[in-house]
Structure 1
Amino acid sequence: MNSSIAHEESLTSIRSIVKISLVSALYMAVTLILSVISFGPIQLRLSEMFNYLALFHKRYIVAVFLGVVIANFMSPMWFIDVPIGGLATLAVLLAARALTKNIKNVKAKFVVTAIIFTLSMFTVAVQLYILFNLPFWMTYLTVALGELLSMTIGGFIMYMVSKRVDLTK
């Protein structure tokens, strides 16, 4: 009996690691394939759609965080984008999950999450302001609008996926 429980737990761990790895790889691949529009003061990072996965299972917080960190090594400002972008993403994923945990309606969770991520783009604007002396408010506006568009497009995609695949498992 004990060996079958241990076997099941190890299979669960392996499945979880595989899911984390797949989401991280997908985040990185989508970001890098679309790298022309994934970095800079005007960006449309469609890989941000994977942020919604954190609403379904906490393992995806780690997955998206790792995907962001790895993808940000390809950023022109990687030396600041990796630590600051990675930690900011982690903080916002945790905040979105916590702030939406009592919301039952998936569409409402998605809207709240999109707003949280859009507002959080000040971290990118600050980086661009410090490194390239870009105007903060205009940069915040363009990056936030890009994030809102990414989260909106990604929200429709992830919502449709969530109707067909149980993302909580």
Structure 2
Amino acid sequence: MKNLTRTSSSTVQTIVSTAIIAAMYVAVTMVIQPIAYGPIQVRLSEMFNYLVLFKRRYIWGVTLGVFLSNFMSPTWTLDVPIGTVSTLLVLFLVLWLAKFTSSLKLQFVIVGVVFALSMFTVAGELYFAFKTPFWFSYLTVGVGEALSMAIGGILIYFVDRKIDIGRFRI
């Protein structure tokens, strides 16, 4: 009976943490909605990508947040499936790459750089939806993502120093 209770508690914790992270991602995206979409975008909610460095299971909350937020995108028919799958794949990639270093600062750099480089998917969506020049969109969206990840990385890093996100139970 104890094992069943532990398993149920763990499942509930995972569901709750997934919902909280997804809700935070959506809330931040909605607050900055005018600059969260389009060929020039700074989506500060991308800072939640760093959470997977602290607990692998946070990948589902971040992915769900992206999925829900992308319904508000002007290119939502492309952004929901492509953006969501891209985020999930890139999160798995950065988790794999982060295993090669124990330095949290270097792991943050890896996450930020890889996410900025992954913006070719958004540039492709903008090209197909609005015929915006692919390389220009890749540059502007990539720079916006790099900026989002830099600001978000600093915020998450200092929040972790204060509350130890890896041990934070949500």
Q: TM-score range by the shorter chain?
A: over 0.9
The structure 2 residue matched to 1:92, chosen from 86, 90, 114, is 90
Partners in 2 of 1:82 and 1:74 — Cα distance?
A: 9
Partners in 2 of 1:44 and 1:16 — Cα distance?
A: 29
Q: Which residue number in structure 2 is paired with residue 29 of structure 1?
A: 27
**Structure 1 regions of 5+ residues with no counterpart?**
none
Cα deviation digits, residues 35-93 of structure 1 (max 9, x gap): 10000000000000000011111211111110000000011111110000000001100
Partners in 2 of 1:9 and 1:157 — Cα distance?
A: 33
Cα deviation digits, residues 105-153 of structure 1 (max 9, x gap): 1111000110000000000001111111111111111000000000000
Q: Within the alignment, does 1:42 sit opposite 2:40 as a pair?
A: yes
Give the length in aligned residue pairs: 167
Q: Which residue number in structure 1 is paired with residue 17 of structure 2?
A: 19
The structure 2 residue matched to 1:8, chosen from 6, 9, 14, is 6
Partners in 2 of 1:99 and 1:158 — Cα distance?
A: 19
Amino acid of the structure 2 residue aligned with 1:134 = T
* Aligned residues: CA RMSD: 1.0
Q: Which residue number in structure 1 is paired with residue 143 of structure 2?
A: 145
Q: Which residue number in structure 2 is paired with residue 71 of structure 1?
A: 69
Moved more, 40-49 or 159-168: 159-168
TM-score by length of 1: 0.95
Partners in 1 of 2:166 and 2:17 — Cα distance?
A: 12
Partners in 1 of 2:131 and 2:98 — Cα distance?
A: 36
Moved over 6 A (4+): none
Shift of 1:161: 1.6
Amino acid of the structure 2 residue aligned with 1:38 = A
**Structure 2 regions of 5+ residues with no counterpart?**
none
